[in-house]
Each structure stands twice: as structure tokens, then as C-alpha cells.
Amino acid sequence: MSRTTLTRFLIEQQRNANVLPGELRLLIETVARACKTISHAVSKGALGEVLGSLDSENVQGEIQKKLDVIANELLLDANEWGGHLAAMASEEMETIHLIPNRYPKGEYLLLFDPIDGSSNIDVDLSVGTIFSVLKAPDACAGREVTEEDFLQDGRQQVAAGYAIYGPQSLLVLSVGTGVYEFTLDREVGSWVMTDADMQMPQGKCEFAINMSNRRQWSPAIRRYVDERVEGGAGPCGQDYNMRWTASMVADVHRILKRGGIFMYPYDHRNPGKAKLRLMYEANPMSYLIEQAGGAATDGFIPLMDVPATGLHQRVGVVLGDKAEVAAVVAYGKEMETA
């Protein structure tokens, strides 16, 4: 069977689908190459002295894992000299990262969570890298890029994807023409296509939520989850399974492959308080889920319509199976207005 590598896929997207300008192709290839290096670092574990935490906190107030910083530096170093970017932003950096004057600048903005799910690193569970690509506003041409230039809603994304470092290392991405999965062939060092034009299965009975946060949930979320826990004896009339990996990349990948719904809702006790970040977690995952035929909301409106007001803005996330997401939104409307 002839293997389609990432390079061939991107060249064919550029030639046939005419959706991939050369600089965007270079950007994706560069990110993919950095993810290979991150995969190698992750797989070393204790032998590579990459486990454990540092004494530092990131802008989120979270203790940084060694791999958080290693992966962040790898992505910055890989991307700053290529001439395809105007600037970068990362979960691990308080402010944006400008392209040094010694390098040419391009028309794209790259945002990333270098290691998502990093609490899993030290216990050998899957973690990943999430990335989102925006175009720099035309106004940037004559001036320095600012944080405000990044504050675009999710519909403005021109590409998004994630790498997942698990039993296999996978790269899942979209440039707006469907979702494609590549598996890292470690012997050759290539990303090889293993799933083309992914469409997430609908009607599957599996939900993902951190049940220990029940006290934070709105009445609508409690009702939705309680009905699924009741299963066949309850109003939804069938048994559901539950999974929670505390790694968004792993949970979303499972949903893309076998269906279900992922929820990290707003904290009902503090309006607007949430855990996941809009710009480099929720928006890129929403882009992929919608491209694969699913739905992605903050529990109320489509996630990619949520206005961007801050680089590290947090947002509620309810995404996956269209009917299940619609049920959560309907309960919110019904109970919110009750």
C-alpha cells in the first residue's frame, strides 16, 4: 500500500485543493517536525531527565513541568527563523513572542499549548501538543505585532491540530478540508497518514467530565449527567459509559475516533469562571470537531463564536456528538430561563 506522508498530503492540498499557501504549508511542516522532537523527549521519561516539576509557575499559576518548558522552547526555536510567522503565543508565556529582527516575518500567528495534560507526564499517561493558526491582521504589516492582533474569534482560524504522545505518536490536523490523522513512523521519522477525512461517529453513549467537580455544575449540567448515569432506567433510555483522562488531547482524540461528548463546563458558582483556555485549547479543538461533523459550544453558544478578549481567557467547553451537545444546550436554555 503506498503511504501518504504529511509532506505529500500538504503538497497535494496546496496543488489540488488550493487551500494551502506555501507559507502555511511550511508552518505546518515546521510544527509537525517540532512535535516529532517533543515525542522523542516525552518517550525518554525518567531516562531523559524530563520528568518532574520546576520551581516556576506559568501565567496560569500552574507549577510548570520540565517538559512544559522543554516543549515550549522547542516550538519557539523551530518556528522563529522560517519567515512564516509574525508572532507566537503559548500557554507557558504571559505575553506574545515576537519574531527576532534578525529573521524575516510572515503573515501567520501561531498559538499553542506545548504540553497539554502535563499532570499526566509523571505517571506515563498520554499528553499532547495543541496548536492553532490565525492570519496576522493586514495592519500588522507596518508595525510590531501586539497581543490584540491575536484576539480573533475561532472562526478566523486557518488551520488547527494536535499531536498526542501515547502508545503511538499521532498528529491530527485540518486546514479546512476535513480532519486527517498521521502516525509517526519512528524508524523512518515520517508522519504517515493513517486516517483520512475523519468523521466522528454520532450516537455513541460515552461522556467525559471530571465528576469530582459536581459542586461547580449548573442545574442543566447536573441534569444531563444524572440522566446519563441513570442510563436505561432513566429518561435517556440507554446506558452510558464514562471516561476522563485529565488530558484534553486524549479525550478529544477518543471522541473524534469513537464518538461521545466532552465537557468542562463553566463553574456555576462563579459566572464566567472556567478551566480550559479559549485561544489554544478550546478554539483549535472546536475547529477539528466541527470539521469532523461534531458540535462545539461553551454550553450555550458555538465556541468559535465566543469573542476573544484575552490571550489566556478561559471558557466552558461542551463538544462532540451533535445530539448530545444540543441536549446540554437545550437544558441550559430551558433551566436558565426557568
C-beta closer to ligand P6P: residue 24 or 121: 121
Range list of β-strands (E), 153-264 = 159-165, 169-174, 180-185, 190-195, 206-208, 241-242, 261-264
How far apart CA 146 and CA 143 sit, in angstroms, is 9
Among 246, 268, 300, 313, binds ligand P6P (CB under 6 A): 246
How far apart CA 219 and CA 34 sit, in angstroms, is 43
Match 496546496 to its residue by C-alpha cell.
14
Rounded CA Rg of the chain? 20
Least separation in angstroms between residue 282's CB and ligand P6P is 10
C-beta closer to ligand P6P: residue 9 or 224: 224
- Pick the stretch among 103-111, 116-124, 159-167, 185-193 that binds ligand P6P (CB under 6 A): 116-124
Closest CA to 104 of 36, 26, 33, 175: 26
Least separation in angstroms between residue 125's CB and ligand P6P is 11
Least separation in angstroms between residue 275's CB and ligand P6P is 6
Residue 119 binds ligand P6P (CB under 6 A): yes
Residue 43 binds ligand P6P (CB under 6 A): no
Residue 260 binds ligand P6P (CB under 6 A): no
Least separation in angstroms between residue 133's CB and ligand P6P is 20
Among 58, 247, 283, 286, binds ligand P6P (CB under 6 A): 247
Element (H, E) at 101: none
The Cα-based distances of 154 to 119, 282, 302 in angstroms read 26, 9, 10
Match 501538543 to its residue by C-alpha cell.
129
Interactions with ligand P6P, residue window 185-244 (CB under 6 A): 210
- Pick the stretch among 68-76, 111-119, 157-165, 192-200 that binds ligand P6P (CB under 6 A): 111-119
Contact 311, 151 (CB under 8 A): yes
C-beta closer to ligand P6P: residue 24 or 75: 75
Residue 5 binds ligand P6P (CB under 6 A): no
Interactions with ligand P6P, residue window 268-297 (CB under 6 A): 275-276
The Cα-based distances of 39 to 55, 79, 85, 112 in angstroms read 24, 17, 23, 16
Among 68, 92, 107, 116, binds ligand P6P (CB under 6 A): 116
Enumerate the β-bridge partners of residue 127.
165
Least separation in angstroms between residue 261's CB and ligand P6P is 13
# chain residues binding ligand P6P, by CB under 6 A: 10
Return the DSSP state at 321.
-
Binding site for ligand P6P (CB under 6 A): 116-117, 119, 210, 246-248, 264, 275-276
